Structure 1
Amino acid sequence: MSTTVPTSATLPGGLVALPSVYRPQADTRLLAEALAHEELGPRTDVLEIGTGTGALALHAARRGAAVTAVDVSWPAVATARVNALAHRLPLRVLHGDFVTRTAGRRFDLVVTNPPYVPAPGARPPSRGAERAWDAGHDGRLVIDRICAAASALLRSGGVLLMVHSGMCGARTTVDRLTGAGLTAEVTARASVPWGPVLRSRRAWLERRGLAREAEQWEELVVIRARNL
């Protein structure tokens, strides 16, 4: 059964965001709740994929973890760096593709709120605000890349936390992570009202079979995977 989005997630306040940078929303808060249950400390190496404002990365850094954050968007990188300085927290923010920028490194925890909104375009946009959410016809362009890379990114016993829409197929994500040698399960769910992006694509989503007619609520899921 889905739950309402929790309001107790501890995210940094007073975050700035340049135009086109995704601001923390219900999915960010749900993921922050999951992150709050993980053990973090000075010896914990954390990676955030698609950091946006840096909210989740700063949440981990505040608890003492050594955090690296990656984003393909220069405005997001600049925003996360400014927010880290404003909050006086150490944060390494890198620009580029997460696989390229983390080559040869392994982490204790990987956290990500990737683009996951199904979109009419087969390829993700190269610029603009849509870059933070559009992810191909089934919303899985980035999700599947993270599933494929997870075992190489995580140390033995390391954990991946990922949030995405139920439209993308939570079972598919769990199966792909399991197939890559991890243990995986859905650990949290929440129902949120459709936002303006989904509402603008209603007819297309219904034709694709991704949404029921007149549907008004979206399910969010958090998936936790552990590297064996």
Structure 2
Amino acid sequence: MVLPGVYAPQADTLLLAAALRAERICPGMDVLEVCSGSGALSAYAARLGARVTAVDIGRRAALTTRINAMLAGRRVTVRRGDLTTAVAGRSYDLLFSNPPYVPSPLEALPRAGAARAWEAGRDGRALVDRICAAAPGMLRPHGVLLMVHSGLCAEEETLLRLERAGLRAAVVERARIPFGPVLRERLPWLRRRGLVPPDEESEELVVIRGEKR
């Protein structure tokens, strides 16, 4: 169930779910989802046995996460807040996120509406960079970050930032999908910026894994 204006599960959700399965989540693990959207992945992690906390800045997203956890018969603690600020001082075995990552011609990030779920600044890294900075402090020793984003957002930059922050980082999942409505609409702008080659008609998604040393 997805309330209006909340990001519905899509290809990136499924890709992140595959990465979650590979982590062999077990009962007793403390797991945090940042930018929970519909909460589908939080409910999934809870089904695998984890103690799950889900955070989203949007009121409707937080409510949708609660409703979907209830519908799935899973216990998920839901907090509303800006990324990790709602759980400051806590630490986790696993942090995962599907943040907004679409490069945007907008001068500022939207503060409301459906576009808040995908608009991510001129280079698509407005939220990605903040998660890279916050995750190391939220993870326990050998804790893991899983984050999905577009290949348009420079996966090499994400890997470098995580390595510099003390995480062993690598791409663990890839998928190529046709451009969706948002990217198709702004293809001329993306091509002018050199983010999409003239003959490219699809987007690569990646899941990056960082493990705290």
TM over 0.5: yes
**CA shift for structure 1 position 100:** 1.2
User: Counterparts of 2:107 and 2:97 in 1: how far apart (Å)?
Assistant: 22
SS of the aligned residue for 1:111 comes to strand
Q: Work out whether residues 34 and 84 of structure 2, in 8 Å CA contact, stay in contact via their aligned partners in 1.
A: no
Letter in 2 for 1:91: V
User: Counterparts of 2:52 and 2:207 in 1: how far apart (Å)?
Assistant: 20
User: Counterparts of 2:27 and 2:137 in 1: how far apart (Å)?
Assistant: 22
Within 5 A, what are the aligned runs for 1:1-228?
16-228=1-213
User: Counterparts of 2:83 and 2:147 in 1: how far apart (Å)?
Assistant: 14
User: Counterparts of 2:139 and 2:108 in 1: how far apart (Å)?
Assistant: 27
Gaps of 5+ in 1: 1-15
User: Counterparts of 1:108 and 1:123 in 2: how far apart (Å)?
Assistant: 33
SS of the aligned residue for 1:141 comes to coil
- How big is each residue's C-alpha offset from its partner over 1:84-143, in whole Å with a ceiling of 9 and x where there is no partner? 111111001111112211110110000100000000113211011110000000000000
SS of the aligned residue for 2:143 comes to strand
SS of the aligned residue for 1:51 comes to coil
Identity of aligned residues (%): 54
**CA shift for structure 1 position 184:** 0.1
User: Counterparts of 1:49 and 1:25 in 2: how far apart (Å)?
Assistant: 17
SS of the aligned residue for 2:190 comes to helix
TM normalised by structure 2 equals: 0.98
- How big is each residue's C-alpha offset from its partner over 1:156-199, in whole Å with a ceiling of 9 and x where there is no partner? 00000010000000100000000111100011111000000001
SS of the aligned residue for 1:186 comes to strand
Letter in 1 for 2:97: T
Q: How many residues align?
A: 213
Deviating more after overlay: 135-144 vs 212-221 = 212-221
Deviating more after overlay: 96-105 vs 25-34 = 96-105
Q: Work out whether residues 55 and 84 of structure 2, in 8 Å CA contact, stay in contact via their aligned partners in 1.
A: no
TM normalised by structure 1 equals: 0.92
User: Counterparts of 2:153 and 2:4 in 1: how far apart (Å)?
Assistant: 27
User: Counterparts of 2:185 and 2:199 in 1: how far apart (Å)?
Assistant: 13
**CA shift for structure 1 position 49:** 0.5
SS of the aligned residue for 2:100 comes to coil
User: Counterparts of 1:45 and 1:63 in 2: how far apart (Å)?
Assistant: 12
